[in-house]
Amino acid sequence: MKIFIDTAKLDEIEQAYSYGILDGVTTNPSLIKKAVDDYKAKRIKIDIRAYIKQILKTARGTPVSLEVIGTTYKEMVEEGKKLFKLFNPVAKNVYIKIPVNPALERESDKSFDGIRAIKELSNLNIPTNCTLIFTPEQALLAAKAGASFVSPFAGRIDDYIRKGNRISFDKTDYFPEHGWKKGKLLEDNGVMSGVNLVRQCIQIIAMHNLKTKVLAASIRNARQARECALAGADIATLPLDVIKDLLTHYKTIEGMNGFVKDTVKEYANLLK
């Protein structure tokens, strides 16, 4: 499973790439706002074009998702082409992020505009990352339209299921793939958790021999990342704190302290 970092903060991206295990970056308008707000809080003016170019260079040729902000087919296609033309020459690694359904209301004539935009951009050989996926059927339609990646939102569907069942939780709390509450199986239209959503997306895409990669998004903790890997996710995009947690275990720290304490001088001298 490839690991992307889910942030637009350049310092976090640089730190994560220094570990030697990162395979890409995902951004969105909310993450870019957080990065810009950090600069504003420090009274530092930011050149957003130069800033994004630096992200692309730091990613060293690995995929970087940049999201459109339009909500119609025409807007998304035009913005996607503009973002690709403007930034892909920097490091040849731009993927255009398109919402699976850009409608702002439940019923809308624009519901398929995201799928249509993905199809159009794919026909132009512009790679796409289809975002805001909460059902396997959404992933199926995006894959059929030619999306390079589909991004099921694991953490957010967990939140939705827990809220619907009045379960108190912190966003970083682990939620089992098949959640139960007092003998009741918790689910949303057959999706029982974020990891279960990811698993179903993987199964459908594999079953129908589609080339699209499943990118597990909205990952809140290391165990959720592990279960997405076990489910067969091609990619997981993680915030920096979750990437760090992948290496954390009390017994590892305990063992290191023991090894350091027990090292004899004769052995240490061999290494000088």
Q: Quick one: residue 60, left, alpha or beta (phi over 0 = left, psi -120 to 50 = alpha)?
A: left
Q: Which of 175, 250, 218 is nearest to 4 (CA)?
A: 218
* Whole-number Å distance between alpha carbons of 41 and 93: 30
Distance CA 80, CA 70 (A): 9
Q: Regarding beta strands 149-152 and 128-133, do their DSSP bridges make them parallel or antiparallel, or are they unpaired?
A: parallel
Q: Which of 35, 27, 37, 26 is nearest to 3 (CA)?
A: 26
Q: Examine the residue annotation and report whether 97 is marked as an active-site residue of this protein.
A: yes
Q: What is the DSSP letter of 64?
A: E
Residue with tokens 């970087």: 64
Catalytic residue among 97, 144, 163, 184: 97
As beta bridge partners, residue 216 has 236
d(CA 51, CA 9): 10
CA distance 138 to 199: 14
**Rounded to an integer, what distance in angstroms lies between the CA atom of residue 162 and that of residue 188?**
10
Question: Which residues are tagged catalytic?
Answer: 97
